[in-house]
Chains A and B, each alone.
Chain A
Amino acid sequence: MKTSKKEYSRMVEKASPPSRLVKNCTWAFMTGGSICALGEWLYRFYMNMGFIISDARLMSSITLVGLSALFTGLGWYSRLAKRAGAGTLVPITGFANAVVSPAMEFRSEGLITGVGAKMFVIAGPVIVYGVLASVVYGLILFFVSPMGR
């Protein structure tokens, strides 16, 4: 039986996803889970230092963001991300990586048009639509729900 290139690639795609999907998901689970467990540890650490709950949460986020920036700067984050996929993307460290990475990449185009303009090229939409969604929620709270007042 003769198989065209197209058919072959379709067959490969058909045959490969399950095992690859399981492998990718295992990596995502282990990495993402570890980052969250680290976040929990940091939260406890800051609570023990005497921060109030919301400040301890904030401090642990900032620490994770700082660690992510450091790892991104050293080139480790992208190396881990190749295997961990969503495990490194979905946690807040992935958001930080999405800000730090283009900032560094576009350094060569200058501080204003490079770093300044490109820093939020990936993370920008996250902020835009996150804020828009929260404004919709705010409008609903104010106009629809009597509890909003």
Chain B
Amino acid sequence: MDYIAAFITGGLICVLGQILIDLTKMTPARILTAFVVSGVALSALGLWEPVVDFAGAGALVPIVGFGHTLAQGMKESVAKEGFIGIFTGGFTACAGGVRASLVFAFIAALLKKPNSRE
């Protein structure tokens, strides 16, 4: 059941992205950016947590979940550290995904034969 909820919710979020690609000609970078900012906003309004409770990875794996993680991290750090938390928090929560991307990308670039095309 949880897998089905994750599948359907994640699938529907991707369909929304596909509709944006096909009907508005938005570039991938714009779509990703719009989804992350939407994730922050939805999470700030308390609307994303219920979706996470329902769909688990279906709400967290799409890039909207990245925005949600950013917002949750911000909430925690402001509650804990006050004003300074605005500058220090938020990013630690999602650092794992970004840092893993960076490290794997670097390894992939090193492994790539300099003149081959992927």
Cross-interface CB contact of B29 among A38, A105, A125, A134, cutoff 8 Å: A125
The A/B interface has a contact count, at CB < 8 Å, of 278
Number of interface residues of B (CB under 8 A): 79
Is the CB–CB distance between B104 and A100 below 8 Å? yes
Contacts A36-B9, A41-B3, A134-B40; A87 near B104 (Cβ below 8 A): no
Task: Note all chain A residues with C-beta closer than 8 A to B16.
Answer: 86
**Which A residue sits closest to B61, measured CB to CB?**
A39
User: Min CB distance, A15 to chain B, in Å?
Assistant: 15
Q: Looking at A33, A57, A130, which has the most chain B CB atoms within 10 Å of its CB?
A: A130
What residues of chain B have their CB less than 8 Å away from a CB belonging to chain A?
2-3, 6-23, 28-29, 31-33, 35-37, 39-41, 44, 55-58, 60-67, 70-71, 73-75, 77-79, 82-83, 85-87, 89-91, 94, 96-98, 100-102, 104-112, 114-115, 118
Q: What are 13 A-B residue pairs whose CB atoms fall within 8 Å in the complex? A: A21-B19, A36-B11, A39-B10, A62-B96, A89-B28, A91-B63, A92-B63, A98-B28, A103-B106, A107-B112, A115-B105, A119-B105, A141-B78
What residues of chain A have their CB less than 8 Å away from a CB belonging to chain B?
17, 20-21, 24-25, 27-43, 57-58, 60-62, 64-66, 68-69, 72-73, 75, 78, 85-87, 89-96, 98-101, 103-108, 111, 114-115, 119, 122-123, 125-127, 129-131, 133-135, 137-142, 148-149
